[in-house]
């Protein structure tokens, strides 16, 4: 099998590219980080340095591919709308055109459950549940627009399947747990709200499993979207307490009501949006809500249609992450 992975220098794309190569596939990875790309090449993965917004480069990369996995995205709670649009919408449209022009056998798209998110608790969300009237971030807005482009492409005949993995973590993570650790180490993060909120997370190997299942799933799954999680909701602040204990970081002593921190974060967003370059504030309303609102997803469709079952538990995944963090950061 010849497989193209966009975002191969990122967390998900890199893990997928390495697994595909280990399974014997002929893999091409697209990314912008040449240092990581060199490491991929050393593992037998052909690396193409290209921006996902470069239509011709993407079209050429799709040539002679049996399958394309599109995981490249700008994922952040903060940033310029134009940057999100270029990466997440224009980039996805370029991948779609490349797949259609080069007659790729199947496209597997990595979307996000951020499109479900509201500033309130949401439990057991299904793929077809009503979406918020207004996406909470530019990332969520543009990923939803990208899904709409995927839907149009499927209507036009492109074989495509979409997954929405939530809160991906594990060795190599540069976003979720590292951002949290940074806030904890700074001593600026209090316990927010009642500390009883539950959230779904997904270990990286389980996400890769889901992507590989999508590569071989029956035609009846094409055009559909699938939630992917570990199926083990965790108490967020209990997980944070365990993380601080494992890494020797003081657990926050202060406990502050959600509405207070939400208000502070909103004020920071306004203030930082007025600074030239609009740097990311220390707190955003989205990042605050993520760690103090409950969000869980229903993964019964992925279990039924894809045969998906999380192989690595939250507990084992957490242990692997902690060991990797200690080995690489301490």
Q: State how far the alpha carbon of 155 is from the alpha carbons of 7, 190, 258, in Å.
A: 25, 48, 43
Catalytic residue set: 139
Rounded CA gap, 312 and 76, in Å?
Answer: 26
Q: How do the residues of the chain divide into helix, strand and coil, expressed in percent and rounded to 5? A: 45, 15, 35
Residue 245 included in any domain: no
| 308 and 211 Cβ atoms separated by less than 8 Å | no
Residue 263 in domain = no
Residue 69 lies in a domain: yes
- What per-residue confidence (pLDDT) applies to 78? 86
First to last CA, the chain: 40
Residue 239 located in a structural domain: no
Quick one: pLDDT band at residue 162, thresholds 50, 70, 90? Answer: very high
Confidence of residue 139 (pLDDT cuts 50, 70, 90): very high
pTM of the predicted protein model: 0.94
Whole-number pLDDT of residue 274: 86
The HSE-up count of residue 218 (CA atoms within 13 Å, CB side) is 6
User: How high is the pLDDT of residue 189?
Assistant: 86
pLDDT tens digits, 32-62: 999 999 999 999 999 999 999 999 999 999 9
At 119 the pLDDT is 87
Stretch 25-34: mean pLDDT, rounded? 96
Q: pLDDT value at position 24?
A: 96
Per-residue pLDDT tens for 230-277? 999 999 999 999 999 999 999 999 999 999 999 999 999 999 888 888
pLDDT tens-digit readout, 109-125: 999 999 999 989 999 99
Say which CATH number the domain at 135 has. 3.40.50.720
pLDDT bin (cut points 50, 70, 90) of residue 91 is very high
Give burial (CB, 10 Å; 0-12/13-18/19+) of 30. Answer: buried
Q: Which domain holds residue 100?
A: 2-173+200-231+296-312
Q: How many domains does the chain have?
A: 1
- 257: number of Cβ within 10 Å: 13
Nearest to 180 by CA among 193, 162, 192, 163: 192
Q: Does residue 114 lie in a domain region?
A: yes
Does residue 83 surpass a pLDDT of 90? Answer: yes
70 falls within a domain? yes
C-alpha to C-alpha distance for 291 and 176, rounded to whole angstroms: 10
Q: Which residues contact 155 (CB under 8 A, 6 or more apart)?
A: none
Give the per-residue pLDDT at 304: 98
Query: Residue 185's CB: how many other CB atoms inside 10 A?
Result: 13
Question: In sequence order, what DSSP letters do the residues of 61-111 get, joined into one string?
Answer: HTTT-SEEEE------SS--HHHHIIIIIIHHHHHHHHHHHTT-SEEEEE-
pLDDT of residue 296: 97
54 lies in some domain: yes
- Residue 115 lies inside a defined structural domain of this protein: yes
Residues 45, 29: Cα–Cα separation, whole Å: 7
Question: pLDDT tens digits, residue range 185-226?
Answer: 988 889 999 999 999 999 999 999 999 999 999 999 999 999
CA angle 139–144–145, rounded 5-degree value: 100
């Amino acid at each position: 099998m010849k497989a193209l992975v966009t975002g191969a220098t990122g967390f998900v794309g890199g893990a997928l590219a390495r697994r595909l190569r280990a399974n014997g596939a002929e893999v091409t990875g697209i990314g912008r980080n040449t240092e990581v790309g060199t490491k991929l090449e050393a593992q037998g993965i052909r690396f193409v340095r290209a921006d996902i917004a470069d239509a011709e480069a993407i079209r050429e990369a799709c040539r002679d591919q049996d399958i394309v996995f599109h995981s490249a995205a700008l994922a952040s709670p903060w940033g310029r709308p134009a940057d999100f649009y270029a990466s997440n919408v224009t980039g996805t449209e370029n991948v779609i055109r490349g797949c259609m022009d080069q007659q790729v056998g199947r496209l597997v798209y990595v979307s996000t459950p951020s499109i479900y998110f509201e500033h309130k608790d949401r439990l057991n969300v299904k793929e077809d549940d009503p979406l918020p009237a207004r996406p909470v971030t530019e990332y969520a807005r543009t990923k939803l627009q990208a899904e709409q482009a995927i839907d149009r492409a499927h209507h036009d005949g492109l074989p495509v399947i979409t997954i929405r993995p939530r809160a991906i973590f594990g060795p190599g993570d540069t976003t979720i747990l590292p951002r949290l650790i940074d806030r904890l180490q700074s001593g600026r993060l209090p316990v927010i709200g009642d500390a009883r909120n539950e959230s779904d997370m997904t270990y990286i190997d389980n996400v890769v499993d889901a992507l590989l299942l999508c590569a071989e799933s029956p035609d009846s799954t094409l055009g559909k979207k699938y939630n992917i999680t570990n199926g083990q909701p965790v108490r967020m602040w209990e997980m944070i307490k365990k993380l601080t204990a494992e890494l020797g970081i003081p657990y926050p002593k202060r406990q502050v009501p959600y509405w207070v921190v939400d208000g502070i974060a909103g004020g920071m967003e306004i203030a930082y949006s007025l600074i030239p370059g609009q740097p990311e504030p220390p707190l955003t309303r989205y990042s605050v809500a993520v760690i103090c609102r409950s969000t869980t997803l229903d993964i019964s469709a992925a279990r039924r249609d894809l045969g998906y079952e999380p192989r690595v538990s939250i507990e084992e995944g957490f242990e692997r992450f902690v060991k990797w963090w200690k080995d690489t950061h301490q």
